[in-house]
Each structure stands twice: as structure tokens, then as C-alpha cells.
Chains A and B, each alone.
Chain A
Amino acid sequence: MDWTALGLSLQLGVVNVLCLVPVGIGVGRVLAYRRFRGKGLAEAAVALPLVLPPTVLGYYLLVAFGAASPIGHFWQLVFDQPLVFTFEALLIASIIFNLPFAIQPMQRAFEAIPPEVREAAACCGMSPWRALLSVELPLAWPGIVTAMVLSFAHTLGEFGIVLMVGGSIPGETRTIAIAIYDRVQAFDEAAAGQMSALLLALSLSVIALTFAFSRRVGRQLG
């Protein structure tokens, strides 16, 4: 069992979720309430990582983050270290490929709030911030939790992009999914088996919990 890899994956999942919550709330809310030109395109862009092969995203990120690219060059100037093959690169990649998992459930949750409730909040003289905090978020909360759990679980399982932009650096970019691949190549079936069983159990319980949670919330709110 590669505990460093497990710790790294959990850390990546958690930081990723913390970054995605504000993004998901912001973008999900805009997509739920606003009408604007190109909205269909924006929704398609959000959903794109669902269908795009991870290697395609990995390739573009590698090109975009590489030392020769403007982003990679800028990063090198500011932080005095390259961006690719670092934890930070994995985090950026994770945020991008988890966008649909974070935004879509939140968007659905905001859409489900009856317009009268939001109008009432506005009529009561609540500022948009106040309405968001005390009316919308409490109502959209189940969707937000679903989004957090799904993107957390999805990060633990991601392989292709991580392999491409992360390499397999112990303690830096070797996540548990990569460690399993690595252990199989090293003829260490025992460790590969243990880690696979752990990921299987973890993924199953996360999904089961999400389903149970949304059923309970659905019953109680409905």
C-alpha cells in the first residue's frame, strides 16, 4: 500500500473541491438564471470534459503549461519552478476536468429554486449577496454537496490526464491511480490489489452515500 500516493490523492481531491465550490456556485448560478448570447456554447464547454478523451485534454494542457508556452514561462518567472509535472499542474488539470461534475449539479439545484422565492427575497430588500447566502444556498445545498462528492471521487479515479501532465513523481504527482499502474508494472500484485480494493470500496461508498443522501433530501424537501 502506497500511503504517500493515497495521501496525495486525498489532498488533491480536497483542494480541488475547495477550489471548485466557488467556481461551481458562480458559474452554475449564472447558467441557471441568466440568459445571454452563446449560453448553449458555454454549457457545451462546461460539459466537454465528460466526452473528451482525457489524453486530448492532457495533450493540450501539456502544450499550454510547458516551459515553452507563455503560461509555463510566466509560472517559471514568478515561482522559479516549472509548472508541468508538479502538484499545481495536477490541481489545475483536475479543476478543468471536474468542471462538469461540479457545475452541472449546482446549476440544476439553482434552477430548482422557484422564481417566486427569489423575487420575494428581492422584494424584502435583500441584497443579491444576502439572498444568495440566506435563501439560495440553503435551498441549493443538496446539489452543492452532490457536486462536491462527485468531483472528489472523480479526482481520486482520474488517470490519463494525471499520467500526461504529472509524470509519476513520488509524493508530488504519483496519485493512487498512478501508483496502481506503477505497482502492476513492478510485479507487485499484492500492493496493486490492496490499493485497487481500497479505491473500489471508497468509490462505491461515496456513490452509495450520495444516492442515499439525495433520496433522503428529496423526500424531506418534497
Chain B
Amino acid sequence: MDAQHAIGIAGRAFCAALITVTFGWSAGGRAAEAPVIAAASDLQFALPEIVEMFAADTGSTVKVSFGSSGNFARQIRQGAPYELFLSADEGFVLDLFREGFMRDDGVLYALGRIVIFAPLGSPLHADSSLDDLRTGLTDGRLAKFAIANPAHAPYGQRAEEVLRRRGLWDAIMPKLVIGENVSQAAQFAASSNTQGGIIAYSLALSPRVSARGTFALIPEDWHAPLRQRMALIKGAGSLATRFYSFVRRDAARVVFRKYGFVLPHEVDLTEAGAAR
């Protein structure tokens, strides 16, 4: 009887706690209706600064989810509740537009660059010609090398393109560690778990990454340009629309430039477009 009594009290207390927590969180936790933005993970450091400026300017905020552009494109097709998509490669945005998921074909907001990165203490020397990567592959210095997944991450596709162009792809394949997106690839390399990697310039420029290694820009004509396009998804609300305009304002462009992005008006777009 004693035990049953104790269990009964414990059970009632547990149920009461459950109910309190449930309704407490339902009322508070999910009530805020900030629009959700899908952003390519090369914006991992630049975009939060822009969101902060937007919040200071308008008093409203947006929620950002970072990932690979290809993965976001799939999620948007499956009905994910994003309102704005900042892709690292315009192909994904243009395809979604043609399939009727986007409000319009959007705008180019930046051009991305890639770098070869070597963490501190790595036997690999980061040089833009990738010559030391070639030597490291033959003399056995290189055990693991990180890139983003070429199947759905634009930065992974460009990394593969460059490695193929330099004739390194077949030799490096067994040593590749594939990140789900470019930020994860950068994390693999910057944490010294790989001897190097090909990552986004915008990530390498962040103090959190640059303090952990050295990097060199890979020549931009060695790969198709990373034309980063953004567009509003059909049904996007007014706050997402305001943020979309904000990203094109001068204040935001300063942030993009700080993180090594080339801004669309700074290059000959027709030529860049023709190269694709």
C-alpha cells in the first residue's frame, strides 16, 4: 500500500510537470513568427552580421537555417516552410523558379571564391597552384583531405572541378572526407582532422577559421563561377520581402565584401554568365 501510494504521488507529480511544460512552451516557445531563411553555408559568418544589422534597423528578426544549396532545393520542392532562399549556385534557384516554386527568378547577390586551406601543424602547404597538394599525394604526407559533397553542395562541385582540372581527382579520391556542406568540410580541416581542404573563401576569412591555419585562393578561372542567387519563395511574407531588399543594400554589401565575396556589379556579368 505504501509503495503504491508513493508511486501514485510520483506519477501525479510527473504528469503535472509534463502538462505544465507542454503548455508553457506551446504558449511561449513557438509563438514568435519570424520568417525562416534557407542560406548556403558559405554565408555561415556573413549572414548573421547582416541579420543583426537588419534587427537593429527594423526591430524585427529573421531565423536562418544553414546547409547545402542542393539540400535546400530538395526541401523547398518537398514543401519546406522557408520564405527566402540564398543559394551558393544560381542553378538551384533558377530551376526552382522554372518549376514554379519561387516568386520570381531573384537576383545575384554575390560571387563566391574557393581556397585551399591547411590547418596549423599540417604537413601540407596551402598554395594556390595546388602543387604541394600534388607532391603530398605522391610522397604520402596527405592522409585526409576535406571537400563538401559534390552531389548537392556547390562548393563541393567546384572543388571536384578544380581537382579534376589539375589531374588530382583520381589520386585524391581515396583520401577525401566529404562534408555535408562546405561549412562542415571547413570544420573537418580547421579542426586538424584532415591535413587540408578546399573550402569557401568567406569561411576562411572568418577569424574562427583563419586563426587555425593558412589558405590560398584558387584561381577563379579554374572553375565555373559560384554565382550566388537569392529569390523569395512563393507565399513569402512582408518581413522576408523586407529582408530580401535589405540584403541588397550598401550596409549588407559591405559585409559581403568583408568576407571576400565579389559583388555582382564589380564584374562583367555577361562574361561570367557566358562561362557557365
Contacts and interface: CB of A to CB of B under 8 A. Distances in A.
Given A62-B78, A167-B65, A170-B36, A4 B29 contact: yes
Interface in B162-212: 181, 183-184, 186-187, 190, 206, 208-209
Contact of A11 (B10, B22, B186): B22
A18 B22 contact: yes
Contacts of B21: 10-11, 14
Nearest to A82: B79
Contacts of B187: 184-185, 187
Interface string A155-192: 00000000000011111101000000010111100000
Contacts, number: 114
Given A7-B29, A217-B3, A15 B11 contact: no
16 contacts: A7-B28, A14-B22, A66-B78, A66-B79, A83-B79, A85-B78, A145-B11, A145-B14, A148-B14, A167-B67, A168-B66, A169-B80, A170-B65, A172-B81, A187-B206, A187-B209
B78 A67 contact: yes
Contacts of A187: 186-187, 190, 206, 208-209
A85 B29 contact: no
B63 interface: yes
B183 to A, nearest CB: 5
Interface in B58-79: 63-67, 75, 77-79
Nearest to A188: B208
Interface string B126-152: 000000000000000000000000000
Contacts of B30: 8, 11, 87, 171-172
Interface SS of chain B: helix, strand, loop or mixed?
Answer: helix
A138 B44 contact: no
Interface in A15-53: 15, 17-18
A102 interface: no
A141 B11 CA distance: 8
B8 interface: yes
A165 to B, nearest CB: 10
B55 interface: no
B26 interface: yes
A194 interface: no
Nearest to A72: B79
B4 interface: yes
A217 B7 contact: yes
Contacts of B29: 4, 7-8, 11, 171
A168 B81 contact: no
Contacts of A87: 30
A210 to B, nearest CB: 12
Given A168-B67, A186-B66, 10 more contacts: A10-B21, A11-B26, A14-B18, A14-B21, A145-B7, A145-B11, A169-B81, A185-B44, A187-B208, A187-B209
A184 B83 CA distance: 25
A142 interface: yes
Contacts of A15: 22
B268 interface: no
Contact of B75 (A76, A144, A167): A167
Nearest to B38: A167
Contact of B63 (A8, A171, A182): A171
A186 B18 contact: no
Nearest to B18: A14
A84 to B, nearest CB: 5
A4 B32 CA distance: 11
Which A-B residue pairs are the 7 nearest by beta carbons? Answer: A82-B79, A220-B3, A11-B25, A85-B80, A67-B79, A170-B63, A187-B208
A8 B29 CA distance: 7
Given A85-B79, A142-B7, A10 B65 contact: no
A142 B18 CA distance: 17
A86 interface: yes
Contacts of B80: 82, 84-85, 167, 169
